[in-house]
Amino acid sequence: MDIQNIKQQFDIIGISPSLDRGIYIACQVAPTDLSVLITGESGTGKEAFPKIIHKFSSRKHGQYIAVNCGAIPEGTIDSELFGHEKGSFTGAVETRKGYFEVADGGTIFMDEVAELPLSTQVRLLRVLETGEFLKVGSSKVQKTNVRIIAATNVNLQEAIKHKRFREDLYYRLNTVPIIVPSLRDRKEDIHLLFRKFASDFAEKYRMPSIMLDSEARIELENYPWPGNVRQLKNVTEQISVIEPERNVTKDKLNKYLPVINNLPVLYRGKDDSNNFATERELLYKILFDMRNDINELKKWMYKLSKGEIAVQEYDKFFDNEPMIYQEDTPRTDTDAAEKVQNLQSQEKESIRKVLKKFNNRRKPAAEALGISERTLYRKIKEYDIEEFEDE
């Protein structure tokens, strides 16, 4: 097994040992029929690994179907995966095959598997355990011989704790785990990727390739890249198109790197009219951090209400923004609730801005925010956001 040859075949750039380890595991597990769970942050390139597994498996001549579970509405996902009978629901004018029937003998890659509704998770578990499924509106059991590879950027252990993902399904999917490293954990690959993207865009736009000076290269490698490889590619394309000079200095580079902090400061430059490609990566990070903070707050509030922790210990959660109380002022859960409300208010405002940016079209807005279309729809309902308001 030549890992370097595999990288070239699947257009994977990098020399990081953690990246090589993931490729090695993918090649080792490929000849088997074991289920594989690929985890990693958004934008790390998880979609390359199921292709490697399928290519080097005995199913390579069968169908390979990639399904984005987060992009399919909850009301139709069972029909998409398992098919439906004619007349089984409004609009079912004919019998339809689902992905599990079409891909019989092949491989199905289920991206964003954590977005599956619980009812669909039950159906998927049955396929994994027995190879059996039912079409929507049918009582006839059908068999399928499909290998399932799943991927997610969600912490499934946390999702299990919050009853959003089935524990038994997790262990069925996670027979062999592959962890795709974030870009900040493979700094040795950042400049290699930059050069590759710069070369590609130079060819695409028929212009000389951009190059970094020594200070700019250090700045590039030390940036945390919350959007990972996808963000690096976007930044490289922007610089390639916008900057007239092909030699990029540190100051020029910094104009395209969003400031990473807790406030929604989206851009360092003077003119942000064409900067949404960079804005969306920061918006995603803001929303992701808000969600984690809200979940953490809920956990602390529950412990506080049960008397499991002291007020002083609770305050440690707000190390960066201390909450001050007078000694004679009784502590209530209202203080924590206000924190949750503030975070939710920021999240709501971020979603409204992105919807406005895309003229209230949910699909591109969800992609820009780094969340699924169904999650965006749920947030719109949760926050009672008027999608078509004209400000």
Whether 180 shows a pLDDT value over 50: the answer reads yes
CB atoms within 10 A of CB 254: 14
* pLDDT tens figures, 231-286: 999 999 999 999 999 999 999 999 999 887 544 434 334 344 344 444 555 565 56
The pLDDT of residue 328: 43
Q: Side chain identity at 125, as an amino acid letter?
A: L
CATH number for the domain whose boundaries are 184-257:
1.10.8.60
Lowest-confidence range among 83-92, 252-261, 336-345, 367-376? 336-345
Structural domain spans, the chain = 3-181, 184-257, 284-382
Confidence at 305, pLDDT banded by 50, 70, 90: low
Q: What is the pLDDT of residues 128-169, one digit of tens each?
A: 999 999 999 999 999 999 999 999 999 999 999 999 999 999
Higher pLDDT, 49 or 313: 49
Contact criterion met (CB below 8 Å) for 365 and 354: yes
Nearest 5°: phi and psi at 148? -110, 125
- Which residue carries 């916008």 as its tokens? 242
Superfamily of domain 3-181: P-loop containing nucleotide triphosphate hydrolases (3.40.50.300)
127 or 263, which is more confident? 127
More confident residue, 380 or 152: 152
Express each pLDDT in 201-221 by its tens digit: 999 999 999 999 999 999 999
Q: Which whole number is the average pLDDT over 363-369? A: 80
- Assess whether the region 3-181 and the region 184-257 belong to the same CATH fold: no
Q: Which of 149, 63, 162 is nearest to 113 (CA)?
A: 149
